[in-house]
Amino acid sequence: MLVAALASGCGGHGGRHDRGPVPTRPPSPTAMGGSPLAVKIDNVPAARPATGLDAADVVYAEQVEGGLSRLMAVYARRLPSAVGPVRSVRESDLELLGQFDRPYLAFSGAQRKLLPLIGRAPVRPESPDEASGAYYRDSARGAPHNLYLRPARLLRSAPGEGALTTGFRYGPAPPAAPPWPRAPCAIRRPASPSPGPGPGTAG
């Protein structure tokens, strides 16, 4: 899993944890393309632990109003049985998802003024209004922290690692940096100047 910022509350909910594979190599160039699934997830203390984060390929942590944060999990190689609690979308989500190939975007709702932007954005919006059968309420939690998504009801199968190649490009490793010069240096302390060894030398 690639975490784009500090994300807390990554445990499972109501069952075993989802364990997604960690990328160890770039995606195959022959398996490119596809639309990943992005889900907006609550991150306030009352919403933790979140469900399905461990299966995500990428998790973004986004600051919102009041010093709070929301998460956006992106799924390409594996779809967990459930994800949530699902929360509302922000304009910044649309900008962030522009790097992918028309991703599915699951969210609980949006401000009315944002709806035209969602309609014009290169995403596939999948809120409860568009896909009510893909969502359910967990009776063990109170609203608004009880809306969950069943990803398999949006996508028949995970699109695969190729769905990430539109957002993440890989290239050759950069050349190694030159070694640090072995030059002497001086360390000055208040009322006690003392010479010190250069980097890489014995003290």
For the segment 90-147, what is each residue's pLDDT rounded down to a tens digit?
999 999 998 898 999 999 999 999 999 999 999 999 999 999 999 999 999 999 999 9
> How high is the pLDDT of residue 120?
93
Sign of the C-alpha dihedral computed for residues 81, 39, 61 and 100 taken in this order: positive
Average pLDDT over residues 29-58: 86
> How high is the pLDDT of residue 65?
82
- Percent of the chain predicted with pLDDT > 90: 54
Q: How confident is the model at residue 26 (pLDDT cuts 50, 70, 90)?
A: very low
Measured at the CA of 67, the angle between CA 59 and CA 149, to 5 degrees, comes to 40
Q: How confident is the model at residue 15 (pLDDT cuts 50, 70, 90)?
A: very low
Which domains, from first to last, does the chain contain? 2-164 (3.50.90.10)
> How high is the pLDDT of residue 170?
62
CA 152 to chain centre: 19
CA gap 167, 75 in Å, rounded: 12
